Amino acid sequence: MSRVKRGVIHTKKRKKVIRLAKGFRGGRSKLFTQASDALKKSLSTSYKDRRKRKRDFRKLWIIRINAAVRERGVSYSEFIRGMRKANINLNRKVLSELAIHNPQEFTRLVEEVKENSQASLTTTLQ
């Protein structure tokens, strides 16, 4: 059996790793082993943080909505429950943007939710 020489493949693999590690500091961008380790770490953290970013934005939207509805005399939980009862299907991102950029519309929405929750409360008491 003849001997297989992997020079081309070996070099391509190493060049690929070094190219992907471009911009890292020191030996992490120049030396294959350090670059390979840094690349594994950076790819795993970037994957993890893409998921974390979704959680962080949801928290931010909830904080913004809570602040906006408390200014209008309702708590966040009451507002969300009223939205469900009024069958208004807006996600938290849209509600947050509405509270920031269109406060008049947001106030109308809060008033509508208040009226609807008052109406549902009186019907359940009767």
Distances (CA, A) of 60 to 2, 42, 77, 91, 97: 63, 25, 16, 13, 11
Q: Model's pTM, two decimal places?
A: 0.77
Q: pLDDT tens-digit profile of 41-91?
A: 999 999 999 999 999 999 999 999 999 999 999 999 999 999 999 898 999
Give the domains, in start order, of the chain with CATH numbers: 7-125 (1.10.1900.20)
The predicted pLDDT at position 117 comes to: 80
Asked whether residue 121 carries a pLDDT value surpassing 70, the answer given is no
The total of other beta-carbon atoms located within 10 Å of residue 6's CB is 9
The predicted pLDDT at position 126 comes to: 58
21 vs 64: CA distance, rounded Å: 38
Of 3-7, 24-28, 47-51, 68-72, the least confident: 3-7
The whole-number average pLDDT for the span 98-120 is 90
